[in-house]
Amino acid sequence: MKTSKHFLQWLTVALLLTVNLTAVKAVDPSIPGDYSVCLTGISEPYRVTDVASSTFTWSILSGVSGTDWTLTSTSSNNNTIKVLWKTPGTYTLQVIETNSNSCSGGPMTIQVTVNALPTVTVNSPTVCAGTAATITATPGAVGTYNYVWTVPATVTDPGNVANFTSTVAGTYSVVITNTATTCSSASASGTVTVNPLPTVTVNSPTVCAGTAATITATPGAVGTYNYVWTVPPTVTDPGNVANFTSTVAGTYSVVITNTATTCFSASASGTVTVNPLPTVTVNSPTVCAGTSATITATPGAVGTYTYVWTVPATVTDPGNVASFTSTLAGTYSVVITNTATTCSSASASGTVTIYAPVNTSPIYHN
């Protein structure tokens, strides 16, 4: 009987000293006790199974309170707590249960690894329209990561990749997850800027032979541009200019580059047309005094022309006619203008010669 009594007393003390400490996930998933956590800035809950009339004393055996962690009780007898982890590292979390008889059990501990969140940056490329931009996520540390992208509505999700290309302007954001720690970064963003290609037109002047045509490149928008011309073989390269002159017929092409964006236009062309000058001859009639001479201007080619005559002072201006008559000797000059091309000839001249009348002597009777 004495032995049984002592055994019962020992068993009672042993039961009173029993501490029932359970990891969160094993006992109650609604109050997790993570052994590996991410440094999210959110407090992590921990608990042991509640025992009536017992109180629990928690401590963290490494780090500095307030600097590396903050421990807060969330129940009246401290069976539940939360810890705000502030510094990455490995910590020992300990709890000691004290029952209503002021008897304490042995300490129960778990190791908690606090992992830093990964960091990531996304570049912000600028490209010209039609050129693909490469968007790249760069983690702050070496490791293996998964990538979840948020892209503009019209862009196909690139999937789990660190970089990809796109021709669409907009914001590209990514969250990366360290596959070893399962910790995820904050979202990081980059912006793709797509600059438009400049546009340009080139005029197509028409001039008369011997007259210089002005060739002009006109950008579609205000800005500062560089000009690269392609000109006919016999024309000297005009260089980086918006306009220049030439007397040579042919095609003149230009590509312009916006100096602010470095984007360049498609090639634009204009054509210089050089119309030939008309030619004309004027006859030089010879008549006897008192007879009218016919003065005629003859163009070198078929066409429609206007005529401007210069006649001796005493001759009435004949007007816009190809031929007319006169009884006066002298030089008759004309300039003709092709009505289709508006090109005018050089002045051409003819001379009217009037022979003096024959003065026959009187008839004498010998």
pLDDT per position as a tens digit, 92-121 = 999 999 999 999 999 999 999 999 999 999
CATH superfamily of 200-275: Immunoglobulins (2.60.40.10)
Cα distances (angstroms) measured from residue 123 to each of 136, 172, 188, 361: 6, 9, 10, 116
Kind plus residue range of the DSSP H or E element containing 150: strand 145-150
Split at pLDDT 50, 70, 90, the class of 33 is low
pLDDT at 35: 84
Q: Which residues, at least 6 apart from 12, have a Cβ–Cβ distance to it below 8 Å?
A: none
Report residue 168 as tokens.
């669409």
pLDDT at 9: 30
pLDDT at 32: 42
pLDDT at 191 over 90: yes
Report residue 326 as tokens.
């006169």
Architecture of domain 280-355: Sandwich (2.60)
Q: Which residues, at least 6 apart from 98, have a Cβ–Cβ distance to it below 8 Å?
A: 54, 55, 56, 57, 104, 105
pLDDT at 312 over 50: yes
List every span in the chain annotated with CATH 2.60.40.10. Answer: 120-195, 200-275, 280-355
Report residue 243 as tokens.
């306009």
Average pLDDT, whole number, for the chain? 91
Split at pLDDT 50, 70, 90, the class of 14 is very low
DSSP string for residues in 19-71: -----HHHH-TTS---SEEE--SSPEEEE----TT-EEEEEESSS-BTTTEEE
Q: Which of 30-39, 191-200, 305-314 has the lowest mean pLDDT?
A: 30-39
pLDDT at 34: 58
**Percentage, residues of the chain above pLDDT 70:** 91
57 vs 79: CA distance, rounded Å: 8
Architecture of domain 120-195: Sandwich (2.60)
Q: Which of 251, 252, 246, 250 is nearest to 211 (CA)?
A: 246
Cα distances (angstroms) measured from residue 323 to each of 253, 307, 336, 340, 349: 46, 9, 12, 21, 13
Domain 2-115 annotated CATH 2.60.40.1080: yes
Mean pLDDT of 52-79: 94
Split at pLDDT 50, 70, 90, the class of 297 is very high
pTM: 0.75
pLDDT at 12 over 60: no
105 vs 86: CA distance, rounded Å: 30
Amino acid at 118: P
